[in-house]
C-alpha cells in the first residue's frame, strides 16, 4: 500500500527551476532516501510534501489525502524533523515533548518516546545544555510524538560524530521495526546504503535514478577493480602482467612498480587465473583487494559530480 | 477540553521561557527600576521645601546696615550657613573653588556702598541651585531696599502649583506613572523579538507543521506578557510609593482599560516590527528608535507643553502619549472612567494596535508563501 504519492511536482523561484517534474511513490513501512548535491531540490521537494510550500504544479497525496482538503488530518499523520533543530531552547527535553504532545489529538507517552530516543536520563535538562547528538535525538522524538504514519528526517546525522550517528541509526531502525514509513535525506552515502529500502537520486530538480541500493550499484558497469602488490618487486609484477594480458575477461591493466591494478568483467575468474600463475612461478603476493562498488560510485556515475560530505 | 489543555501548555511553555531568560529579568524589571530611581533622584527628589543651598557670608565691615542685613539673611530658611560667623573673603574664595559651598554672599564694604555681591563657582553658574540663590537674594535685596526707602511694594506675586487632578500632582507621581507607562510600552515593543528568534531558529516553521493553531500560541504569549507588565506595574509602584513618597489615586476600571489597551497596542507594534525584521539586530534597532523617540515626545519625564510648537503635532499622533495619559488617569488623576478625553485616547491607542496587528499579520501571511 502506498503512503505517499508525488506526481509531476514543479516549483520555481523566479527564473530558477528548483523542482521540475518529480514523481515517486513511497510504500508503507519503507525507508525512502532522497540524496543529491546541494541545491538539487531536495529541501524544496520535502517542504512541498510537508505542506510548508505550495507547488506550482503537480499533486501530493498522503494516505490518500491532499493538503488543500485535509490539511489538519494530514498534520496528524506526519512527523517532521527539520534540518535546523527547531526546539524550545529554554525548556527541558521532557517539557518540549509534553508541549508538542498537546498539539495532537492522539500522542505517544512522553516517557515512551524518551526511552526510544535514549534521553530518559537527560529528561530534565534544558535543550540549551544538550549535546548536538542529544538535540538531534530530541528533534526526532518530537517528530514521533504523534505516532505518525510517515516521518520525515531531514539530514538527521549531519555534523554528528560517528558514535552519535550510530545512535540515530538505531532510532531509525527501531522506527522501521515499528512499521513507520520513513523519508530520509542525507549527505552520507554509507547511511543511505545501510538504512534505505530505496534510494532516489535527485539532481537539478529531476530524479536521476530511483531503486534499491543494491540494484543501483549493479546497474553500474560490471567491471570491477582489483589490486595486487608483489613482494618480489617490479620483475614479478611485470612478468605477471605479460602472462595475464591474453585473458579475455580483463579489460584494462595498469602497473606502477610492484603494484598491479586490473579491471575485469569476471573478477572471480580473473583472480583465480592470476593466483594460479603466481603460485606456479613462486611469486609471493603481498596484498590482494577487490574494490566494492558503493552508492558513491553510483552517485558520481549518475550526476557526474564528486560527492562532498 | 483539548483546546484548553493546549492553551495551558502553550502558556506555561512561554512563561517558563520568558522567566528563564536572564535578559528578560534585566531589561523588563531591573532596568526600569534603576532608570526610575535615577530619574526620581535627579528630578523628583522631594518638594521645594526640601531645597537647601549651602552659603557663606563675608562681612568686610561691621556697621548697622550690614548687621541688619546679615540678621535678615540668616533667617532665610533655604540657606544653610557654612559658619555661624562671617568669614574672610579669602576663606570664602577657597570654599567656592573647592565647592564646599554653593555660593558666597559679600555684604557692602561700607554703609554708603550699596553693592551686595554673590559669588558662585563658574561650573555651577547656571545650575538650579545658583539660579535659586540668585533669585532669593534678588528678592531679599529688593525688599530691603523698599524697607530702607520706607515704601510698601504695590504688587506681590503669589504662586502655587496646579495639576490636572483634584489633588496636587507631585513630580514623583508624574515620573512614576511615566516610568510605568514606558516600561510596559517597552516590554511590548521589545518583547516580540521572540517572534524573530522563533523564525530564525526554524521553530515557527516547525510549529506550522503541527496541527496546533498559531493563534492559540499568540494568546498564550499575550497572557505571559500581561503577567510581566502587571509585575512591572506593581514593582515600580511599590518603589515609587515607599521609596519616593508618590501618591496614588487609583481608579481601577480606568487603570484596567488603559493597561489592557496599552499592552495590546504596544505588543501589536512589536509584532509588526517582527514581521519584517530579518535579524534580531534589525528588530532591536527598530524597537530602540521607536521607544527612544516616543520617550521624549510623550510626556514621560516632562510635560509636552515645553516642546517647540512644530513638534507638538507629533506628540498628538504617537501612541505612548495616550497610553501614559490613560495610565495617569487610572493611577494618579483619579479623574474617572467616563471622560471623553480618556476614551478618545484609548480609541487612538486601540487604532494603533489594530492597524499594526493587521499589517503585521498580512506581512507574515505574505512571507509564508515566499519563504524558502
Q: Render pLDDT for B274-299 as a digit per residue (tens, 0 to 9).
A: 998 989 999 999 999 998 888 888 88
A6-12: average pLDDT? 93
Residue B276, SS3? Answer: helix
B248-252: average pLDDT? 86
Give me the residues of B, 21-60, that contact A with CB < 8 A: 21
- Give the C-alpha separation, B13 to B207, whole Å: 13
Considering only CB atoms, B210 lies closest to which of A85, A89, A100, namely A100
- Give the C-alpha separation, A78 to A90, whole Å: 26
Q: Please report which helix (H) or strand (E) contains residue B53, including its range.
A: strand B53-58
A202-206, B120-124, B261-265, B307-311, range with greatest mean pLDDT: B261-265
Q: Exposed, middle or buried: residue B322 (CB in 10 Å: 0-12, 13-18, 19+)?
A: buried
> Max Cα separation, chain A?
76
Asked if B201 and A85 come within 8 Å (Cβ–Cβ), the reply is yes
- Give the C-alpha separation, A122 to A93, whole Å: 7
Q: Tell me what pLDDT residue B371 has.
A: 42
- Give the C-alpha separation, B43 to A6, whole Å: 70
- In chain B, which segments carry CATH 3.40.190? 48-149
* Closest-CA residue to A129 (of A87, A165, A170): A87
A12-16, B72-76, B337-341, B352-356, range with greatest mean pLDDT: B352-356
- Give the C-alpha separation, B183 to B329, whole Å: 17
Q: In the predicted model, is pLDDT for residue B167 greater than 70?
A: no
Considering only CB atoms, A52 lies closest to which of B10, B16, B205, namely B205
Which residues does chain B have within 8 Å of residue A98's beta carbon, measured at their own beta carbons? 9
Q: Tell me what pLDDT residue A8 has.
A: 93
- Give the C-alpha separation, B152 to A269, whole Å: 135
Compute CA distances A102 → A142, B12, B80, B213, whole Å. Answer: 11, 12, 70, 12
A110-127: average pLDDT? 95
Spatial contact of A9 and A17, defined as CB atoms under 8 Å apart: no
Q: Tell me what pLDDT residue B217 has.
A: 94
Beta-bridged to residue A183, according to DSSP, are A32, A152
A235-244, B165-174, B343-352, range with greatest mean pLDDT: B343-352
Q: Say which range, A34-38, A211-215, A290-294, B12-16, has the weakest mean pLDDT.
A: A290-294
The domains of chain A, with CATH numbers, are 2-218 (3.40.50.300), 221-292 (3.30.70.100)
In our burial notation (b when 16+ CB lie closer than 10 A, e otherwise), range A17-34 reads bbbbebebebeebbbbbb
Asked if B210 and A103 come within 8 Å (Cβ–Cβ), the reply is yes
- Give the C-alpha separation, A270 to A221, whole Å: 17
Cα of B180 to nearest chain A Cα, Å: 28
**Above pLDDT 90, what percent of chain B?**
33
* Residue B220 pLDDT grade (very low, low, confident, very high; cuts 50, 70, 90): very high
Residue B19, SS3? Answer: helix
Which residues does chain A have within 8 Å of residue B16's beta carbon, measured at their own beta carbons? 90-91, 95
Q: Please name the residue of chain A whose CA is at the shortest distance from the CA of residue B18.
A: A90
φ/ψ of residue A25, rounded to 5: -130, 135
User: Domain B48-149: which CATH class?
Assistant: alpha beta
Spatial contact of A60 and A6, defined as CB atoms under 8 Å apart: yes
Q: Looking up cell 510698601, which residue turns up?
A: B152
Residue B108, SS3? Answer: coil
- Give the C-alpha separation, A276 to A270, whole Å: 10
Q: Say which range, A53-62, B41-50, B119-128, has the weakest mean pLDDT.
A: B41-50
Q: Tell me what pLDDT residue B156 has.
A: 65
Name every residue in A having a CB less than 8 A away from some CB of B. Answer: 13, 44, 50-54, 72, 75-76, 78, 80, 82-91, 95, 98-100, 102-105, 126, 142, 146
Q: Say which range, A177-191, B128-142, B158-172, B293-307, has the weakest mean pLDDT.
A: B158-172
Q: Please give the grid coordinates belonging to residue B77.
A: 530658611
Q: Exposed, middle or buried: residue B21 (CB in 10 Å: 0-12, 13-18, 19+)?
A: middle
Cα of A57 to nearest chain B Cα, Å: 15
Beta-bridged to residue A19, according to DSSP, are A11
pLDDT in tens, B200-211: 888 999 999 999
Asked if B13 and A78 come within 8 Å (Cβ–Cβ), the reply is no
Residue B352, SS3? Answer: helix
pTM for this model (two decimals): 0.75
| CA A255 to mean position of chain CA atoms | 35
**Above pLDDT 70, what percent of chain A?**
98
Residue B56, SS3? Answer: strand
Q: Say which range, A13-17, B24-28, B304-308, has the weakest mean pLDDT.
A: B304-308
* Closest-CA residue to A294 (of A157, A199, A189, A178): A189
B7 contacts chain A (CB < 8 A): no
User: Mean pLDDT, chain A, as a whole number?
Assistant: 89
B255-265: average pLDDT? 94
**Could you tell me how many CB contacts below 8 A there are between chain A and chain B?**
69
* Residue A286 pLDDT grade (very low, low, confident, very high; cuts 50, 70, 90): confident
3-state secondary structure chain A: CEEEEEEEEEEEECCEEEEEEEEEEEECCCEEEEECCCCCCHHHHHHHHCCCCCCCEEEEEECCECHHHHHHHHHHHEEEECCCCCCCCCCEHHHHHHHHHCCCCCCCCHHHHHHHCCCHHHCCCEHHHCCHHHHHHHHHHHHHCCCCCEEEEECCCCCCCHHHHHHHHHHHHHHHHCCCEEEEECCCHHHHHHHCCEEEEEECCEEEEEECHHHHHHHCCCCEEEEEEECCCHHHHHHHHHHHCCCCCEEEEEEECCEEEEEECCHHHHHHHHHHHHHHHCCCEEEEEECCCCHHHHHHHHHCCCCCC
User: Mean pLDDT, chain B, as a whole number?
Assistant: 84
Considering only CB atoms, A84 lies closest to which of B202, B208, B212, namely B202
Amino acid at each position: 500500500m502506498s503512503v505517499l504519492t508525488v506526481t509531476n511536482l514543479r516549483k520555481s523561484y523566479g527564473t530558477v527551476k528548483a523542482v521540475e517534474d518529480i514523481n515517486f511513490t513511497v510504500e508503507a513501512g519503507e525507508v525512502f532516501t532522497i540524496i543529491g548535491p546541494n541545491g538539487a531540490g531536495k529541501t524544496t521537494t520535502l517542504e512541498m510534501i510537508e505542506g510548508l510550500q505550495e507547488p506550482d504544479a503537480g499533486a501530493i497525496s498522503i494516505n490518500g489525502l491532499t493538503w488543500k482538503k485535509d490539511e489538519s488530518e494530514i498534520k496528524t499523520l506526519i512527523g517532521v524533523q527539520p534540518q535546523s533543530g527547531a526546539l524550545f531552547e529554554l525548556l527541558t527535553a521532557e517539557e518540549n515533548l509534553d508541549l508538542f504532545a498537546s498539539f495532537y489529538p492522539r500522542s505517544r507517552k512522553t516517557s515512551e518516546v524518551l526511552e526510544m530516543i535514549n534521553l530518559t536520563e537527560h529528561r530534565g535538562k534544558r535543550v540549551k545544555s544538550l549535546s548536538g547528538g542529544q538535540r538531534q535525538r530530541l528533534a526526532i522524538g518530537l517528530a514521533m510524538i504523534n505516532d505518525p504514519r510517515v516521518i520525515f528526517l531531514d539530514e538527521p546525522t549531519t555534523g554528528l560524530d560517528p558514535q552519535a550517528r550510530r545512535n540515530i541509526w538505531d532510532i531509525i531502525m527501531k522506527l522501521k521495526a515499528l512499521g513507520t514509513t520513513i523519508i530520509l535525506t542525507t549527505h552520507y552515502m554509507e547511511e543511505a546504503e545501510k538504512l534505505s529500502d530505496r534510494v532516489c537520486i535527485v539532481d537539478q530538480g529531476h530524479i536521476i535514478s530511483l531503486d534499491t541500493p543494491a540494484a543501483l550499484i549493479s546497474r553500474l558497469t560490471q567491471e570491477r577493480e582489483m589490486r595486487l602488490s608483489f613482494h618480489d618487486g617490479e620483475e614479478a609484477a611485470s612478468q605477471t602482467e605479460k602472462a595475464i594480458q591474453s585473458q579475455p575477461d580483463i579489460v584494462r591493466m595498469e602497473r606502477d612498480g610492484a603494484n598491479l591494478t586490473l579491471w575485469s568483467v569476471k573478477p572471480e575468474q580473473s583472480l583465480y587465473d592470476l593466483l594460479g600463475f603466481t603460485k606456479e612461478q613462486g611469486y609471493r603476493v603481498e596484498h590482494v583487494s577487490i574494490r566494492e562498488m558503493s552508492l558513491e560510485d553510483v552517485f558520481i556515475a549518475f550526476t557526474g559530480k564528486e560527492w562532498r560530505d | 477540553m483539548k483546546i484548553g489543555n493546549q492553551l495551558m501548555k502553550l502558556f506555561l511553555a512561554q512563561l517558563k521561557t520568558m522567566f528563564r531568560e536572564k535578559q528578560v529579568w534585566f531589561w523588563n524589571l531591573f532596568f526600569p527600576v534603576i532608570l526610575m530611581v535615577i530619574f526620581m533622584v535627579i528630578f523628583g527628589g522631594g518638594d521645594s521645601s526640601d531645597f537647601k543651598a549651602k552659603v557663606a557670608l563675608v562681612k568686610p565691615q561691621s556697621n548697622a546696615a550690614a548687621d541688619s542685613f546679615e540678621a535678615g539673611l540668616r533667617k532665610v530658611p533655604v540657606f544653610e550657613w557654612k559658619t555661624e560667623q562671617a568669614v574672610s573673603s579669602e576663606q570664602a574664595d577657597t570654599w567656592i573653588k573647592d565647592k564646599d559651598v554653593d555660593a558666597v554672599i559679600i555684604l557692602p564694604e561700607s554703609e554708603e556702598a550699596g553693592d551686595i555681591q554673590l559669588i558662585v563657582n563658574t561650573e555651577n553658574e547656571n545650575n538650579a541651585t545658583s539660579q535659586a540663590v540668585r533669585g532669593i537674594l534678588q528678592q531679599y535685596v529688593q525688599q530691603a531696599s523698599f524697607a530702607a526707602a520706607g515704601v510698601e511694594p504695590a504688587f506681590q506675586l503669589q504662586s502655587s502649583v496646579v495639576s490636572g487632578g483634584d489633588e496636587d500632582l507631585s513630580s514623583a507621581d508624574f515620573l512614576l506613572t511615566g516610568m510605568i507607562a514606558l516600561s510596559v510600552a517597552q516590554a511590548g515593543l521589545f518583547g516580540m523579538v521572540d517572534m524573530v528568534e522563533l523564525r530564525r531558529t526554524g521553530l515557527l516553521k516547525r510549529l506550522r507543521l503541527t496541527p496546533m493553531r498559531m493563534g492559540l500560541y499568540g494568546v498564550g504569549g499575550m497572557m505571559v506578557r500581561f503577567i510581566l507588565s502587571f509585575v512591572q506595574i506593581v514593582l515600580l509602584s511599590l518603589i515609587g510609593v515607599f521609596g519616593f513618597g508618590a501618591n496614588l489615586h487609583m481608579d481601577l476600571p480606568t487603570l484596567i482599560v488603559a493597561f489592557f489597551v496599552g499592552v495590546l497596542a504596544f505588543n501589536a507594534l512589536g509584532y509588526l516590527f517582527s514581521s519584517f525584521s530579518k535579524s534580531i539586530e534589525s528588530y532591536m534597532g527598530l524597537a530602540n528608535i521607536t521607544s527612544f523617540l516616543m520617550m521624549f515626545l510623550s510626556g514621560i519625564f516632562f510635560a509636552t507643553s515645553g516642546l517647540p510648537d512644530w513638534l507638538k503635532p507629533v506628540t498628538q499622533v504617537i501612541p505612548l502619549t495616550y497610553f501614559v495619559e490613560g495610565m495617569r488617569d487610572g493611577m494618579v488623576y483619579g479623574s474617572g472612567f467616563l471622560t471623553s478625553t480618556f476614551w478618545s485616547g484609548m480609541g487612538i491607542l486601540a487604532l494603533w494596535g489594530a492597524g499594526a496587528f493587521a499589517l503585521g499579520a498580512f506581512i507574515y501571511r505574505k512571507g509564508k508563501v515566499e519563504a524558502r
